[in-house]
Amino acid sequence: MARSRKFFTVASLGVASFALIGAGATATFNDAVQSRQQITSGTMNLTISGPADSWTNGKMLTLKDIGPVGSTFSTGPQLVTVTNNGNITSALVKLTVSAPTANPTLANGIFVKIQMQDTKATVYDGPLAGLTNAADLGINGQKIAAGDSMAAFVTFYASDLPNGAQSGVVTPTFTVDFTG
């Protein structure tokens, strides 16, 4: 009986030792890394302004009324400026022009000249009616960096308007679309 008790004691110790070795083998070294980036969207804010005698709410500029004009007239160059007050670069997508009138003879007799202020390049000098149909004046894609501006001189003029152009009203409207 006594021999038998020793054997069990040894046997139980042996089992206990194995158990300890097993428990130690399940532990591991741990570590972690993390990457983080914040993306903030910018804001587009383009405003338009003109000469001192014009009116603007920032988005729409109304130049001084011209007239009643005679058969030959010129408004002279009127400086129109588009400023990028946002914090992202904006690109000019398109310039569209409309000229609503009840007197097409007048509208067809009016010419318009657009000259960039910085480069002095004339991007258009022709009939107003031709400008309303122009898809691209070569300025599409032109970019305005945040804080910068783009300015052009706009002149409306006519020479020898026909009699049918008398007592008419035309309102040329330029709309400039940007993307950013």
Partner 1 sequence: MDVRPKLLMGAGLAIAGLGLIGAGAGATFTAQVSASSEISSGGVELSLDGKTGSDLNLSFKGEDLGSHFAPISTDLNLKNTGTLNMPSTYLNVTATGCDGSNGSALAHSLNVTLTDVTRQDTVIYDGDLCSLADDKTVTSGRRGQGFVTPPEHDGVGGQLPGTLPADTARKYQLVIQPNDSKDGLPTDAQRSSTTVNLVFSGFDY
Task: Give the binding site for partner 1 (CB under 8 A).
Answer: 42, 44-48, 50, 59-72, 75, 78, 80, 82, 86, 88, 90, 93, 103, 106, 110, 154, 156, 161, 165-180
Residue 115 or 165: which CB sits closer to partner 1? 165
Cα distances (Å, whole numbers) of residue 105 to 5, 122, 173: 125, 25, 18
**H-run or E-run covering 20:** helix 2-25
**Cβ count within 10 A of residue 76:** 12
CB of 164 to partner 1, least distance (A): 10
Amino acid at 90: S
CB of 36 to partner 1, least distance (A): 21
Residue 14 or 141: which CB sits closer to partner 1? 141
Residue 136 or 160: which CB sits closer to partner 1? 160
Residue 42 or 126: which CB sits closer to partner 1? 42
Burial (CB count <10 Å: 0-12, 13-18, 19+), residue 13:
exposed
What is the total residue count of the chain?
180
Residue 50 or 127: which CB sits closer to partner 1? 50
Question: For 96, phi and psi rounded to 5 degrees?
Answer: -120, 145
CB of 69 to partner 1, least distance (A): 5
Q: Is the peptide bond before 68 cis (omega within 30 degrees of 0)?
A: yes
CB of 142 to partner 1, least distance (A): 14
Cβ atoms of residues 178 and 96 within 8 Å: no
Cβ atoms of residues 30 and 119 within 8 Å: no
CB of 137 to partner 1, least distance (A): 15
